[in-house]
Amino acid sequence: MTSEVIYQGELRTVATHLASNSSFITDAPTDNHGKGAAFSPTDLVATALATCMITVMGIKADQKGINIDGARAMIKKIMADSPRRIAEVQVTIYMPQYGYSAEEKSLLEHTARTCPVARSLSEGLTQTIQFVW
């Protein structure tokens, strides 16, 4: 097992990662009957894309001796109706100013765009990815 999710009532859950026992809460968003006091499940999907991208970039960077410490991502999730779903995830990755070569930039961008989460999301979901070097 990977995790456990317990419904707390009032559209809130507590999710626990079983191997580490770390946990977090989710709330339904304000535009869908919730309080919006924590990540919503769809926020987690959008955020998972960015964390996956940066994680695999880190793996590739470590293998190639490239420093990406301080890289950060900003995420915007856009919802659609009928049916309610994530229509688009916009991710802007800001890279630290370490003077990357064109080859390093290409390698890291390709690595990010082909991360496991990016490949797992529906082809109907638009992934708008931008890098700021």
Give pLDDT tens digits for 76-133: 999 999 999 999 999 999 999 999 999 999 999 999 999 999 999 999 999 999 999 9
Same domain, 28 and 78: no
Q: Which residues contact 109 (CB under 8 A, 6 or more apart)?
A: 131
pLDDT tens readout for residues 43-78: 999 999 999 999 999 999 999 999 999 999 999 999
pLDDT of residue 125: 97
Same domain, 59 and 113: yes
Same domain, 76 and 94: yes
Same domain, 98 and 48: yes
Same domain, 116 and 98: yes
Same domain, 122 and 73: yes
Same domain, 62 and 111: yes
CA distance 117 to 123: 12
Same domain, 121 and 63: yes
Question: What domain range is 63 assigned to?
Answer: 41-132
Same domain, 120 and 98: yes
Quick check: pTM over 0.85? yes
Same domain, 55 and 9: no
Same domain, 15 and 63: no
Look at the chain and report how many structural domains it folds into.
2
CA distance 124 to 101: 33
Torsion over CA of 129, 70, 74 and 114, rounded to 10 degrees? 30
